[in-house]
Amino acid sequence: MQKKTDMELKIDSEDLEHMLLKIEDSFDIRFETNELAHVRTYGEFCDAIKDKISLDHSEDCTTQQAFNKLREAITKSTETEKKEITPTTELAEIFPRKTRKNQIKTLEMNLGFKLSILRPPHFVTGFLVILLLASFITLFIEWQYGLIGLGLAIGGFWISNKLGNELNVKSVRELSEKMTRENYMKSRRNSKTINKNELDKILENWFVDFLGIRKSELTREAHLF
């Protein structure tokens, strides 16, 4: 049996690179080509991120600051009063389906960054996934029909993502946490400081939410590949 210290997370390198780009955007940092070539374990990856952030430490809570910024932006973007917005407030109550896309677009303008909280219905995504897989199989039988199917599936994904009106987070608290993870520096009141005590938890959330890794697997010694 493989020892815990020798655990391999078996992360796809492209998925890790995609996640790294998002982490760089969130913390406003950039790694040079091959700068992380030596990184092999989860612990080394987290240390490299934290070492790259050269900002003064501050004990203030970023999620609380994200909530405050979000509440201010919501009051400017909708007719909702500030006192009505709490961490448990459902986003569907603030953004009714009929005006949701325009209100969230205005909210993003007031915040100064994208939230990416709208998606197409699950049944649409499921249908397009089935169409995509069927098209791949058809390529080996009738390649012309396979190509047509691929085109329809890819076009369908693009259109459905543009027109999607379903919320992928439920509450103001969940959105505040998403802002903290994906737009950390822009969520802080003072973007020249950072709460170093939050970094381990935020990086853990990236691996869990973006890559689908279980928390129990995220030991410092766990190998990424």
What secondary structure does DSSP assign to 105-144, as a single string? Answer: HHHHHHHTS----EE--HHHHHHHHHHHHHHHHHTTT-HH
- Per-residue model confidence (pLDDT) at position 165: 94
Element (H, E) at 62: helix 62-77
What's the alpha-carbon Rg for the chain, to the nearest Å?
21
- Phi and psi at 88, nearest 5°, equal -90, 0
Structure confidence at residue 179 (pLDDT): 97
What is the rounded distance in angstroms from the CA atom of residue 10 to the CA atom of residue 167? 31
- In sequence order, what are the residues at sequence separation of 6 or more whose Cβ sits closer than 8 angstroms to the Cβ of residue 14? none
Task: Say what the pLDDT of residue 2 is.
Answer: 42
Global pTM? 0.86
CA distance 8 to 213: 11
Q: What is the pLDDT along the chain (225 residues), one digit of tens a residue?
A: 344 446 899 999 999 999 999 999 999 999 999 999 999 999 999 999 999 999 999 999 999 999 999 999 999 999 899 999 999 999 999 999 999 999 999 999 999 999 999 999 999 999 999 999 999 999 999 999 999 999 999 999 999 988 899 999 999 999 999 999 999 999 999 999 999 999 999 999 999 999 999 999 999 999 999
Q: What is the pLDDT of residue 7?
A: 86
pLDDT for 6 equals 64
Domain boundaries, the chain: 4-57+193-217, 62-114+169-177, 122-163
